[in-house]
Each structure stands twice: as C-alpha cells, then as structure tokens.
Structure 1
Amino acid sequence: MKKKWLLPIFASFTLFTGIGIHDAKAATIADITNTAKEYIGVPYKYGGSDMRTGVDCSAYTQFVFSKVGISLPRTSKTQYQQGTSISKEHLKTGDLVFFNTSGSGVSHVGIYIGDSKFISATTSAGVKIDKMNDPYYWGSRYIGAKRIADFTENDFGEVKDAEIDFSVYASRGEVALRLADVLQLDTSETNTSFPDIKPSSNYAGAVEALKKMGIFTGDEHGKFNPSSPITRGQLSKVLVEAFHLQQQGTADEFTDVPPTHWANPYVVILASTKVTVGKGDNTFGVNDNVTLEQLAAFIQRLSQ
C-alpha cells in the first residue's frame, strides 16, 4: 500500500508482456500495494491459483500483477527470468523478491512493499507480510530481486501505505464505517460493485449503503480504495452530501480554498454551519489527510 495521497486516479490499464521493464505509467504504487494487501489471509495451496480456495506464491504474484495490467509467467523460476535485476539497497515498491526455501535455487517469490517488507503466499500462514531481513528465516534465504515495472506515484503525489499511520489518520474505509453508523444505514447488503471490496470485508455493508446514497463513487477503474487516506477537502464534500447540508448565512474564508477551488462550495457550507472553523491560521488544510480525531469532531458536531 507511501505518499501523501488524495484519491488515487489511475490511467487506463493495458496488458503488458515481455521480459524487460514494463512501462507501467498507468499502474501506481498505491495500485500494486493495495491490490496485494487486499488478499492478506488467503490460504496457501500448493499448485493453487484460486484466491478463494488457496494459492501458491507464484500464482499470488501472477494474480496481483494481472490486476494492474501486467502479465507474469506461472512459476517463481520463470518469474525470476523476467525484468531487470535490482540490488537489495535499490529495491522499490512493486519489485519481485526471490528466495531459496527448498535448497535448490529459486523456490519462493513475493512483492516488495517498502520499509524492508514484502508480501507473499507462505506455506505457514497464507498471504502475509514478512520482513526481508528476518534473521530467523527470510534473511538467509534471499536470492535477489527483479524489477518488472516502474510503478509511478499518482497524479496527486501518492505515498506508500507504510508512511500512513492509520492509528492517527482516517482511511476511506473507516470514514464509510463511521458515517454508516451515525446515519443508521442498513448495512446488510455486502455485495458491492467495487472490485477491491470483497463481501467478507469489514467495510462492505457500509460502503454499499453509502454508494446507494451517491455519497461514494469509485475511481476511474471503479475501485473504492478502502485503505487510502482521505483529505479534508474530500471529506468536506462527503459530509455535505451525506448530511444534506446547506449554507447558513456567511462563512469564514480560508486562504487555501479560494472561490475557484473545487472544494470551495463544500468548505463554505461546513464553515457557515460551524462544523469547521479551520486550522486557526486562516487556512482550512484542504489537502491535509483527515485524522481520526478530526473525523470524530466533525461527526460529533453534525450529530448535535
């Protein structure tokens, strides 16, 4: 899953093949990490390729890359023949990392996600995140890495998930849960059209309920991106539409939200209804990621 992100906006994907580095300008760092993490907990199955019943390591990497428009061969050994070799100190998010777990060369593959961590389908616990330099296992079994694609940051300068502390900041999924709760929505329907929200997801019912209200829509590829943060500007639009707010008299003006800014109408409404007073320095913080504390404060004021 970094960067300071706004909602990820992705260009159209095409299917890439070949053995060099793919020109993956359409695939972002957020896309590869969010897709990889969506399947944490999927069980391991030798030779398996079904994300519902179980996968082995190379089927998992093949599947994740296919979701961002990149074709990989089926086995870890043939995947090791792809792309360009990358030294350990130059690893980037999205690189494939390989290990010798059998004593006879390449036998395990995972996806590097930054901060010396990788995600893979393990025989012990299914799809999970591990440390590259784990002295008890992975560290001594590391063989090398291959760069299959140069994943880009999105148009809004998205960062890697590891840099977003969701014990401090609110994710889109968390916003959906809180809004569905305060609005007392029926969250029993868990089948959504968002490809990155499985029916078993904790967010599924809330996301679908809010989608029916027109509060949340997907990105260009229809994804909800539950693990992405949300900015104060974006949240202002969500709150105005969720609570059907209208402007009440005049409102404080913020220097970072001029009349030409897309979020201005929503911020003006929040300010006029005293849901927000800004940051105290004549700014609203329109591009700041929303903290859990701020989210709770907004919802409390709206619920009074």
Structure 2
Amino acid sequence: MKKKWLIPVFASFMIFTSPLIDAEAATPQELVSTAKQYIGVPYAWGGTTSSGFDCSGFTQKVFADLGYQLNRTSAGQFAQGTAVSKQHLQIGDLVFFNTSGQGVSHVGIYIGNNQFINASSSKGVSIASLDNSYWKNRYVGAKRVIDFSKQQASEVKNASVDLGFYASRGKVALRLAEGLGLDTSDTNSPFIDVKSTDYVAGAATALNKLRIFEGNEQGKFNPNSPITRAQMAKVLTVAFNLKPTGKNTVQFRDVDQNHWAYDYITILAQHGITIGKGNGLYGPNDYVTLTQLETFIQRAVSK
C-alpha cells in the first residue's frame, strides 16, 4: 500500500517549498489553541521565541509546534503553499500584507470569522480583523500551506464511535483490529468492564488474544479512557511486531533513555510512523487525538 500523505517533516533544518506539507496531522482547533497560547507575547524584531516574536517568527513557531516547517521570513512564507482567495479562507491559512510599501512584509494566521492572529509591532501577539481599515488596505493575499480542514473532516469521518477530540482506548482497539485485519467475531471479552454486546467487545477480545491489550490489575479495559502517546507507541510496536532498524532517527528532547517508553518511541521513529509534534518534542504524556490515531494507523499499515 502506498502512502497517501505528502512529505513529512523529518528534521528542523529542511525547508519545504512544495504546495502542501504534512506531519502528524493537526485539526483547526489545535491550530487556533496553539496560536492563542502566545497572545500577549511582545513584538521583537527578529524574534522567534516566546520571549518575543516578529510576524514570521510567530507563524513559524506556531506551525513548528504542530510539526510543520515554514520558511523564516514573510516573503519566504508567501512563496510556500497554494494561493487562496479571500472569500475562501480557512482556519490555518497564512494571510499576507504590505505594510512597508515594498511588497509582502507582514504575515498572520487566519482563525475564522474574518479574524487573524499575528505578532504586530504595536500590540505583540494579538488578534486583528481583516475588516479593519488598516489591514484591509494593505492585504496582499493568502496561502494554504496545510489544509487543516481535511484533518478535521478525516477525524469526523473516522470517529464512528468516539466523536470526542481524543482517541479512546475503545477507538484505538477498533482501528487496530481493522488495520491488522483481525477476526473480531468472538465477543466473549476477558475484561470485566466490556460486555459481549459492547461495540468494542470483538476488537478488545481479538487484541487480548495477541497480548496487545491486557487490561489493568483490576481486569478492566477502560474503553472510554484516553491513551497517551507513550502508551500508543508501545501498543503500535507490539501490534505490528516492529523491531529496531538501527537507523539514525529523530531524538526527542522530552524522551530520555530512562523513560519507560524510550525504546518503543525510538522504534516507531525508526520506522517513520512518528515524526513527533515538532520543535524536537514527542509529547509522551499527551493524549492521542483522533487525527493522530489515524495518522499512526495509516503509517503502520503501510509498512
């Protein structure tokens, strides 16, 4: 099976000029919440960190937090992605302005309702309106580097059981059983909190037989509980019988060699099933989102 996603970001020094780029997919909600966490950070010429941003430093940081690589300057970012008309803007599109009189010199991120978030020289990271006369008169155009709406659509389409933001253990079991092509006809669950009539009974039973899901000390499966990215790494490694490849791979700053899931996460990265969340982080204690689950499963199945 061939991969259906575009080129992932494997290292922070790689610069992409292809129309669209993809990592462990983020939703529009994740994009907006990630950007808004920096509201109030002051403007700093040349700034690229939370101690101070310039406009393109801010957009680059937000996208990096989600695992996407943007060029450094507003002009460089304007060269990425595909052009989008103003009436068709979507959350996550980059919006560009001519504030210097010499072409593209400012960039922000569209967040819906005709608003965008940006690092302005007067207010720092803040939300502004495209209807504001200042920005309206200086608007140049927009580019779509990542189509976040597709991630949201994929999330809803595949969330036949759990429509929440995070993937439940039950949802993971269903997708794993499907991805592995398991026989789920036996619903005589070994877990005390999964009845034979429950939606997850067949998948949970099949995965238990393979010792992929064994339950906790009380014999519970906890189908409605979320699963962390560290736990997901172990489940995927065991489920798909992944072995170390010996390849040099991404080293995540938040997973040292003493972490219980270090080997699982390393193996996952060696096989290209994870590339992290960006900025050198894996997020072992973060809960797996539905969109991330789909990305993990698709990449594992394609191996």
TM-score, normalised by the number of residues in structure 1: 0.46
TM-score, normalised by the number of residues in structure 2: 0.46
